[in-house]
Amino acid sequence: MAEIEKKTTKKKKVMVAIDANECSHYALEWALENLTDHVTAIPLTLFTVRSISDINYIYAATHGSVAPELIKSVQEQQSKLAAALLERAKDICSGRGVIAETMNQVGDPKEAICEAVEKLKVELLVLGNQGKGTLKRTFLGSVSNYCVQHANCPVLVVKKPA
């Protein structure tokens, strides 16, 4: 009688970067659908970045003479939005029986994601592709392109079907 060799799949630490764009939520859903049995460690890390660009725009628009209360208000609003965004993503995970931990930072999204990958020793980064056109990608940059080039782990970019 031949013995059947059991395949063991090593669980990997996976991080899904989330933002307000529906493409990132599609990427989370895709990862939960397709990767859970194979590579998702418990807990899955959900990560979002509160961009400093909103604050920079306010400073630029007011030529640096902005009321501190306005800056504080914008930062509080960003914190609330980030918390709600992560809570929604965590609920999606729990609906699939996946435990998720959440993390958010302030900074440039592409740099903050790559720094978190290194700090947390992430083994797979999952990102949604926003599908920016060439012109927007040229001027605004692409977080997914940056992460593919700079993250210290494999990067899975999930593109939402048209």
Q: What is the CATH number of the domain that holds 71?
A: 3.40.50.620
How, if at all, do strands 44-51 and 14-17 pair? Answer: parallel
At residue 8, the pLDDT reads 54
Largest alpha-carbon pair distance within the chain?
81
Range of the domain at 26: 14-159
What six digits make up the tokens of 147? Answer: 């992460």
Tell whether 7 is covered by a domain.
no
Q: From first to last of its 162 residues, what are the pLDDT tens digits of the chain?
A: 455 555 555 678 999 999 988 899 999 999 999 987 766 667 899 999 987 766 655 656 666 677 777 777 777 888 899 999 999 999 999 998 898 999 999 889 999 999 999 999 999 999 998 765 554 444 445 888 899 999 999 999 998 887
Do residues 50 and 20 make contact, with C-beta atoms less than 8 angstroms apart? Answer: no
At residue 131, the pLDDT reads 63
Domains identified in the chain, total number:
1
What six digits make up the tokens of 133? Answer: 């056109």
